Structure 1
Amino acid sequence: MSSVDLAALREIRSQVGDLLEKGIIPFWDERATDQSEGGYLTDFGADGRCQNTAHDKYLVTQARMVWAFSMFAEHVGSGSLGDRLRDAARQGVGFLRENFWDPVHGGWRWSTRRDGSPLDSAKIMYGQTFAIYGLSAFSGVTGDEQALAWAEETFDLFQVAASDLVHGGYVENFSEDWRPEGTVKTLDTHLHLMEAYTALANVSGSHIHRRRLQEVVTLICTHLVDPVSGAGRNQTAADFTPQPPVPVARTWNVERADGQVAATDTTSYGHNLELIWLLGKAGEVLGSPIAPELRAKLGDHALRYGVDWQYGGVFREGPHSGTATDQDKEWWEQAEALVGLLDLYELTGNREALSAFVSVWNFCLQYLIDRDTGEWRTRVNRTGMPLDSTLGSVWKGPYHSGRSALETLARLDRIIETWESTSSTGES
């Protein structure tokens, strides 16, 4: 590990800013809005061209696109580009409400065809959470009260239809009419519930939204992180008893290119690092720091087992203790690792986290970020060989890549400012 100095952070800050403003935002601004049917196109090949004219639309990605265009508009500010990004978000909200909302049973369908006609009307909590997230972001950026009302309506539905009143937390998978399908609970879904409730509570200021946010935070810290190893539990039974993972339909693990699901209980380094900073964000909204020791433990585990100190990047997953068993590197783990590692440094002052951040960034810049477009490839192997070079899909939009850039810039600005104020060299 090499020492990280102020000049290195300034250089990365410049690279991340350029990536966002000259790459990611223009890539999706120019391609994503479906001019003929509404909503968003997401299937883009390695060359950046649309590769699927049928273009089914998933709730998770359509809602994430609303979030991304809203936050890009806030980043850009006023002017023609900002107006265009807000318009892109606004039409996405309209497409969601018109085509994904189930007027009979309530809630949001999992998928539609390109024209918005229903394809899969199951109610999947993973996707439902992003409806709240996207609508809250749009309302926060534009002041749109109707979008906030729809987010609140979705939240209220969760409490009636999806709350597990016996064990706590939420049932995750339902049929069209909200009949439960399976009992598995996951860190993935509850992590994103926390993320959605954080966004909603931040915009609404409602006591009940803050209360439910606190409940999900407590549940995650109590049941979904192993207190011994500091590793997140991928799956549990309904009562939060840890169990080996089983394939669950309508998940990225099942639908990605190879569809492999680990045969033994594993942890996701990407989720663990993402959890560090999302817990921090929840704490900001709730007004007090959340579980600093647990967050530090999640980071220590990732530094020990998840970071590839030889080639750079973060491995996909591995056991709670020991060497990573899946050493491929997907875009989303790397994107979340960048933010989580910076949060870990700000939380603990551990310079190893900064060294890991630089290592992950350099790996991404060399192997995952497409130099022609600025968007991220989907997956490479440990040494950076492409395994899936597509730039967009029904699972992949600018949510991870764009959000990582926005959050990384904010943290780098804070760290650089602190270093500049204490030392001309950045050495403390």
Structure 2
Amino acid sequence: MTIWGIEAERILDYWIQYTKDEKYGGFYGRIDIYNQIDPFAPKGSVLHSRILWAFSAAYNWKPKEEYKNMAERAYTYLKSHFWDPVHGGVFWTVTRSGIPLDTHKQTYAQGFYLYGLIEYYKAFKDSKVLEEALEVFHLLESKCKDPLNPGYFEAFDRAWNKIEDHIISPGRDKSMNTHLHVLEPYTELFELEKGAEIKQALEDLFSIFRDKIIWKDTLQLFFDKDWAWSEGSYSLGHDIETSWLLRKAGKVLGKDIDIACNSLAYASMGIGIPALREENGEVHWWVQAEAMLGCLFAYESTEDQYFLDQIVMLWKWIENALICENGEWYWGVDSSGNKLEQHDKVGLWKCPYHHVRSLLILDNWAFRYPQKLLLKV
């Protein structure tokens, strides 16, 4: 096992040991940087969906019984407490005891639930789970899709009436982030089910990124319903994440997007090294994990040693700055290198997804080409 596989196991073991809510079921909604559980924190659908994805993916990587148990726990809780039995779709949050709390339907959350279901199906081959995944796909297409313009709206009430978004893109109709995390599960679904409707939906998303979201060597973030945008904020983490997720979508569709994706990767890493920073100078955990993957896919496309060197540099920075002694990673550091103590170790947005995915893929890749990367770290 590589250093990345070892670290993936450490993170997964942390979630097994510390995050299960044995009283109310599912997983705690928040654990702070000092490993203190907030027993009253609401539980999020994105958190539980990402746990479902992570432990299903871990089981596909290494079929351990404890990984299966965690995946089943997440799946059961999502179905029992987050799924709306009346209107379909998952709620945003429930109380600690599993009572629906914020019952609005966020497109972003439906995308992650679909992503988790697909990986769970890959791990355990339960046909009813694939049927459930297809049901979520059809909900996204019938409820979330803009009927007049390309793309998907952000937020809806419980009965799927469009509402103003307050989570991903306040004050705007559409976002890069939501479309990225619909593209992500649609790519995986199309690999399983080559249906015409799924293919068309994925092709439409691919075209949206190519023609509307990518602008020169970066991504525009927020849009109105007609895809009008104004220059302003950037997100290096999403730039580098998109560079490999869009490349993967293009591969399954048989469409070439390498030039645009390579440009995103070169531009992101050129700005960011030794670690990709936010506009305020902070360095966040998930961005570094996605940067390693973006560099990996860019290397496979370009064979430019530069990208392997960046993976090594990023990993050494992560080892020094982010890895916690008792497991998991810190959220990040500020512009002076101090830990961001106000951010969670476990929470609505802090989940075993970005870094576990990066580490599992790196572990598999390094064994294929040890002379290229494994011996450098």
**Does TM, normalized by the shorter one, top 0.5?**
yes
Deviations 1:380-416 (A, max 9, x none): 0245321236421121111112111112223333443
The secondary structure found in structure 2 opposite 1:397 is coil
Residue 135 of structure 1: which of 110, 117, 120 is its match? Answer: 117
- What is the aligned partner in structure 2 of residue 155 from structure 1? 137
Report the RMSD for the aligned CA atoms in angstroms: 2.0
C-alpha displacement of 1:132: 0.4
User: In structure 2, how many angstroms separate the alpha carbons of the residues matched to 1:329 and 1:419?
Assistant: 24
The partner residue of 1:201 within 182, 190, 212 is 190
The residue that corresponds to 1:26 in the other structure is 13
Residue of 217, 241, 257 corresponding to 1:291: 257
What is the rounded CA distance, in whole Å, between the counterparts of 1:155 and 1:104 in structure 2? 17
**2:340 matched residue in structure 1:** 387
C-alpha separation between the residues in 2 aligned to 1:166 and 1:133? 26
1:224 touches 1:233 (CA, 8 Å); kept in 2? yes
Q: State the distance in 2 between where 1:50 and 1:69 align.
A: 23
> 1:278-305: per-residue Cα shift (whole Å, max 9, x none)?
123223433x254011001101211232
Partner of 2:167: none
Stretch deviating more after TM superposition (349-358 or 154-163): 349-358
What secondary structure sits across from 2:214 in the alignment?
Answer: coil
Match of 2:152 in 1: 170
* 1:188 CA displacement: 0.6
From 52, 76, 89, the equivalent of 1:66 is 52
How far apart are residue 417 of structure 1 and its match? 5.5
Secondary structure of 1:267's counterpart equals coil
User: Within 2, Cα distance between the matches of 1:63 and 1:331?
Assistant: 19
Q: Tell me the CA shift for residue 96 of structure 1.
A: 0.8
Task: For 1:410 and 1:282, locate their aligned partners in 2 and report how far apart those are by CA, in whole Å.
Answer: 20
Please state if 1:233 is matched with 2:226.
no
TM-score, length of structure 1 as denominator length: 0.81
State how far apart, in whole Å, the 2-side matches of 1:343 and 1:415 are.
13
Query: Residues 201 and 33 of structure 1: is their aligned pair in 2 closer, same or farther, counting only changes over 3 Å?
Result: farther
Please give the secondary structure, in 1, of the residue aligned with 2:340.
strand
Q: Which residue of 1 aligns with 2:169?
A: none
For 1:361 and 1:297, the matched residues in 2 are separated by 22
The aligned runs of 1:17-416 (5 Å cut-off) are 17-21=5-9, 23-47=10-34, 49-77=35-63, 82-182=64-164, 183-226=172-215, 228=216, 230-243=217-230, 265-286=232-253, 288-305=254-271, 307-308=272-273, 312-316=274-278, 325-370=279-324, 372-388=325-341, 390-416=344-370
2:322, 2:329 within 8 Å by CA — same for their partners in 1?
yes
After alignment, is 34-43 or 111-120 more displaced?
34-43
Q: Is the 8 A contact 2:331 2:345 kept in 1?
A: yes
Cα separation, 2, equivalents of 1:374 and 1:87: 20
Question: What amino acid is aligned across from residue 102 of structure 1 in structure 2?
Answer: D
CA contact (8 A) 1:327 1:382 kept: yes
Give the CA deviation at 1:374: 3.3
Matching residue's letter, 1:14: T
**CA deviation digits over 1:29-82, x for unaligned, max 9?**
2223322222222522334x34201131111111111111111112222xxxx1
Q: List, as ranges, runs of 4+ consecutive aligned residues in structure 1 with deviation greater than 4 Å.
A: 417-420
Structure 1 CA distance for aligned equivalents of residues 364 and 153 of structure 2: 35
CA distance in 1, matches of 2:289, 2:113: 21
CA distance in 2, matches of 1:113, 1:130: 20
Is the Cα contact below 8 Å between 1:313 and 1:360 reproduced in 2?
yes
What amino acid maps onto 1:301 in structure 2? A
| Distance change in 2, residues 1:202/1:40 (3 Å) | farther
Seen in structure 2, the aligned counterparts of structure 1 residues 373 and 419 have a Cα distance that, compared at 3 Å, is: closer
Which structure 1 residue ranges, 5 or more long, are not aligned?
Answer: 1-12, 245-264, 317-324
8 Å Cα contact 1:42/1:396 also seen in 2: no
Cα distance, 1:166 vs structure 2: 1.6
Counterpart Cα distance in 2 of 1:332 and 1:409: 17
Q: Distance in 1 between matches of 2:353 and 2:337?
A: 22
The alpha-carbon deviation at position 365 of structure 1 amounts to 0.7
User: Shift of residue 418 of structure 1?
Assistant: 6.2
- SS for the counterpart of 1:119 is strand
User: 2: CA distance between counterparts of 1:18 and 1:181?
Assistant: 44
Pick closer, same or farther for the CA change 1:236–1:414 going to 2, 3 Å.
farther
Q: Which amino acid aligns with 2:291?
A: A
TM-score, scaled relative to structure 2: 0.92
